[in-house]
A and B are shown apart, each in its own frame.
Chain A
């Protein structure tokens, strides 16, 4: 296998998931989000795009995010697809574009895998019930309402658990990775 393919694979494995999450913000469909990101990488592969490291990791990242966004927006424009996320819930458009730009232009160099493993450690240290709620929400993709029903508690209680979980995990990251 030639070198470029190997680099391509590493690049793909590094960015695929986060780009899907980002695309999902626009298209609110897992399948569509994946299609968009896969097509983007397919395009790189077919056109023989070479990514040079001297450009720096963060500019590569911004580039990938920007490409993903424009493809997602193209998809929404095409054949009158709706931007469901913005339509279903009242959003402050200014905040949306502010957050979007923050995500695209992140500069901090962070090792995704280290971060994930630290998050992992932090999750395992959560109180049992909080951990359960957090995993149901983030891993099993259940809505707060679904979790509330299945555990027989109020939605407010679920929100409290989520806040507690996320704030614990963040505190853990602060302490161990000195970020945020």
Chain B
């Protein structure tokens, strides 16, 4: 049976037309303007739904130098984009009504990102608005609680909720950790060198936060308002559950580990390929976009930091020190022989780095030398 011209056009668009069919299409197109017009309509029908994959709203943010910060502008911006995109995205919702409303928090993050780098601050910082900021001095860990009427810091200090912007930030520098209790009871632990952006109030039909670095969450169940964790490259959707997200920019892998409950994870690149995780599973995403899921025998290795310790079982010194490097922000040069030494135990994260290293050197045959702020570790010959 000979294919109709309509079938040939579609096969051509799908990259499946044979050379003979392509020839036929070409002569048909040359016959008249009407034929060209007809082809273009097929092209539109075929390509328009896919254009949704290219999101002008997301792209536009990358275009402008990130200078505009005044609040008025942000509001103008988001509403104007929302209005024009709403129409554009009509088809989208029809296709996938699970897609969360993302514009706001991610736009805000774009605005914030260049402000303060966690790695360059000394204190844990709570940023409540452009004008209002609290530095938690002389503490290696802190707990911040959002109550109905105010915000409490370590049950010692209370801040009024007036003059608090829509989105707040908690920033932890190297060597320090923070815990945040949100209005809905969700508890989030921040590891060192991390930034969490979150709304002061949860409004709308989802609860969304953005993280750079590492967090552990115990999400309060709320069937009607899913909780979404955004990172640069992957996103996690949950209803109520406990899990850890690690998304350090400088690391080659980001990961999500589920302790209990259930979550859906997906990468920025493949938004529609959602991966469901069950407890004790790890989802790992590498910088080249490859995602894999594996079983982990024991999640405590990944989550014990929330209790102020790093706990490990016959772990190689190289991976222990990698964690230390990340936590304390120090540069460590490790010899190959020393790197393969294994060790079990706990490290206390409230200790300073030198003390932690000292502890390691008491259990392992290693020699430590400090030169130009860099730590050289080698194995002592037996």
Binding site for B on A (CB under 8 A): 1, 9-10, 12-13, 16-18, 20-21, 30-31, 33-34, 37-38, 41-42, 45, 85, 89-92, 94-95, 98-99, 102-103, 106, 108, 113, 115-117, 119-120, 123-124, 134-135, 138-141, 144, 159, 162-163, 166-167, 169-170, 173-174, 179-180
Contacts and interface: CB of A to CB of B under 8 A. Distances in A.
Contacts of A106: 40
Interface stretch (B6-14, B233-241, B298-306, B313-321): B6-14
B96 A166 contact: no
B40 A102 contact: yes
Contacts, number: 154
A166 B45 contact: yes
A119 B272 contact: no
Interface in B71-115: 73, 76, 80-81, 84-85, 87-88, 90-92, 94-96
Given A30-B53, A33-B54, A120-B91, A180 B26 contact: no
A156 B105 CA distance: 44
Contacts of A12: 56, 59-60, 63
B50 A138 contact: yes
By size class, the interface of chain B is 35 or more
Given A34-B59, A45-B63, A85-B15, A98 B29 contact: yes
Given A13-B56, A167-B6, A173 B51 contact: no
Given A91-B22, A92-B19, A124 B54 contact: no
Contacts of B15: 85, 89
Contacts of A102: 29, 36, 39-40
Contacts of B88: 13, 113, 116
Contacts of A117: 87, 90
A163 B7 contact: yes
B42 interface: yes
A34 B73 contact: no
A88 B19 CA distance: 13
B117 interface: no
Given A116-B91, A144-B14, A17 B52 contact: yes
A94 B27 CA distance: 10
B41 interface: yes
A13 B60 contact: yes
Contacts of A166: 6, 10, 42, 45-46
Interface in B241-272: 269, 272
Contacts of B46: 138, 166
B23 to A, nearest CB: 6
A135 B192 CA distance: 43
Query: Considering residues A89, A113, A120, A173, which has the most beta carbons from chain B within 10 angstroms of its beta carbon?
Result: A120
B49 interface: yes
Contacts of B91: 116, 119-120, 123, 139
A34 B54 contact: yes
A98 to B, nearest CB: 6
Contacts of B96: 139
Contact of B76 (A1, A18, A34): A1
Given A120-B90, A144-B14, A163-B7, A21 B45 contact: no
A16 B56 contact: yes
B38 interface: yes
Interface in B267-285: 269, 272
A74 B360 CA distance: 55
Contacts of A18: 47, 51
Given A16-B54, A17-B51, A98-B26, A38 B63 contact: yes
